[in-house]
Amino acid sequence: MAPASVALLLALLGFLAAAGQIAERTTPDPRSQPTVHGGKPQHEKYAGDAACLSCHQDQSNSYVHTAHHLTSQPANKDSILGSFRDGSNVLMIADPATAGDDPGLYFKMEAKDSGFYQTAVAGWPGQLQRRSERFDIVIGSGVRGQSYLYWHGDQLYELPVSYWSDGSRWINSPGYKNGTMNFSRAAIPRCLECHATYIEPRSPDPLTNQYVKASLELGISCERCHGPGADHVSLHRTKASAPAGLTGEAILNPAKFSRDRQVDLCALCHNGIRSQELVPAFSFVPGKPLDNYLLPNEGDMAAHPDVHGNQVGLLEKSRCYLSSPNMSCSTCHDVHQPERPAATYSNRCLTCHQVESCGMSKTMGHKIADNCIDCHMPVEQTNAIISETAGQVMRPKMRNHWIKVYR
């Protein structure tokens, strides 16, 4: 048997240790086990998004359409974007019917009464082995793609097949070796810390995938950025007849943080290189320095930081940012609104620059006013999330947040 077949069969039998299979993007250094400060982060003082809606309709009505809100959902026919229709529900890696020395492998996505399933079928005709797991949780709003998680008891794992929006197709989950059927990749707390509101891990080990299942809250809630809001809600409910102009109490408004703390809030999830956790997931409180919580991984600070998920690191390199003490992510983004087309952001540049300060205005005229972005924040391919599927390599494209002259 060729080595590839051995690996495949081991994976089939579930022998591949979960620890070796964790997403490269998120693996914290196991030597830096966190010191636990009194166990799990407090989670009682949270009110939930529905509570905010009654008083903050402006923010809430648009927020439900944002990628943050939609970034994790229960799996169902609306949330799973991939197709279960015959003809487009198979990811063929190597057809078992024509398998030679190496075994064949394909994945089939099926809608059944009991839910939606991924089934791996591997081997040779007459000796086929199958493994089926249910789609339980959808990760990703689908801007670029989605990955899926399944429960095995109280353990959470990533499914081997993901969805790719470009071409609306099924692909190998990023980081999975092509040709293997691996169901043993653990979904660690940090994964959900960036993509959900809350889950209670059963242990402080940053590599655990055992959780209190019922504690899971999907989507990124208002309170991830505004802090626990239960007191704020009850306070304002009893003050319902209070005079207009009353300022919010017992709630955090990031606009009132220093610039560094504002950017730290976004950096919790948008600074790819920070991954060494000092305290358990879900203990970060908006307004506090991120340095007390996450450290940059040494060695990752390459001269050309990758564009994936590192908007903070890249923006911080920009002269715009270095020379403007008040510039933050909010200069361009309103996180309560869905993303706008890139070109519309040019008016943000023009709050500080003039069309004439760009050398290109001499040759191209005023029409550059509508598109500062494509030249100064170009879209580039990332090397951080790669999916290799049956010989084809896919890399998502990201907007580079290092604002400068590209030649």
| Least CB distance to ligand HEC at residue 213 (A) | 17
Q: Is 389 in the site for ligand HEC (CB under 6 A)?
A: no
Quick one: 94 or 251, whose CB is closer to ligand HEC? 251
| Least CB distance to ligand HEC at residue 354 (A) | 7
Quick one: 96 or 140, whose CB is closer to ligand HEC? 140
Q: Report the 3 state secondary structure along the chain.
A: CCHHHHHHHHHHCCCCCHHHHCCCCCCCCCCCCCCCCCCCCCCCCCCCHHHHHCCCHHHHHHHCCCHHHHCEEECCCCCCCCCCCCCCCEEEEECHHHCCCCCEEEEEEEEECCEEEEEEEEEECCEEEEEEEECCEEECCCCCEEEEEEEECCEEEECCEEEECCCCEEEECCCCCCCCCCCCEECCHHHHHHHEEEEEECCCCCCCCEEEEEEEEECCCHHHHHCCCHHHHHHHHHCCCCCCCCCCCCCCCHHHCCHHHHHHHHHHHHCCCEEEECCCCCCCCCCCCHHHCEEECCCCCCCCCCCCCCHHHHHCCCHHHHHCCCCCHHHCCCCCCCCCCHHHHHHHHCCCCCHHHCCHHHHHHHHHHHCHHHHHCCEEECCCCCEEECCEEECCEEECCCCCCCC
Q: Is 248 in the site for ligand HEC (CB under 6 A)?
A: yes
**Nearest by Cα to 125 from 171, 94, 90:** 94
Q: Using the rule CB under 6 A, which residue among 225, 281, 290, 394 binds ligand HEC?
A: 225
Contacts of ligand HEC in 57-96 (CB under 6 A): 59-60, 63, 67-68, 71
Q: Is 184 in the site for ligand HEC (CB under 6 A)?
A: no
Q: How many Å separate Cα 206 from the centre of its chain?
A: 17
Q: Is 279 in the site for ligand HEC (CB under 6 A)?
A: no
Q: Is 208 in the site for ligand HEC (CB under 6 A)?
A: no
Quick one: 36 or 352, whose CB is closer to ligand HEC? 352
Q: Using the rule CB under 6 A, which residue among 33, 127, 168, 357 binds ligand HEC?
A: 357
Quick one: 103 or 140, whose CB is closer to ligand HEC? 140
CB 89 within 8 A of CB 163: no
Contacts of ligand HEC in 91-130 (CB under 6 A): none
Q: Is 255 in the site for ligand HEC (CB under 6 A)?
A: yes
Quick one: 121 or 358, whose CB is closer to ligand HEC? 358
Per-residue burial over 93-104, b if 16 or more Cβ lie within 10 Å, else e, is: bbebeebeeebb
Half-sphere exposure of 206 (CA within 13 A, CB side): 27
| Least CB distance to ligand HEC at residue 152 (A) | 15
| Least CB distance to ligand HEC at residue 156 (A) | 9
Q: Using the rule CB under 6 A, which residue among 32, 33, 76, 324 binds ligand HEC?
A: 324
Q: Using the rule CB under 6 A, which residue among 156, 171, 187, 199 binds ligand HEC?
A: 187
Stretch binding ligand HEC (CB under 6 A), from 78-86, 94-102, 112-120, 353-361: 353-361
| Least CB distance to ligand HEC at residue 327 (A) | 4
Contacts of ligand HEC in 120-179 (CB under 6 A): 139-147, 158
| Least CB distance to ligand HEC at residue 105 (A) | 21
Q: Is 204 in the site for ligand HEC (CB under 6 A)?
A: no
Q: Is 387 in the site for ligand HEC (CB under 6 A)?
A: no
| Least CB distance to ligand HEC at residue 230 (A) | 7
Q: With CB under 6 A as the rule, give the number of residues binding ligand HEC.
A: 104
Quick one: 94 or 136, whose CB is closer to ligand HEC? 136
Q: Using the rule CB under 6 A, which residue among 155, 348, 388, 390 binds ligand HEC?
A: 348
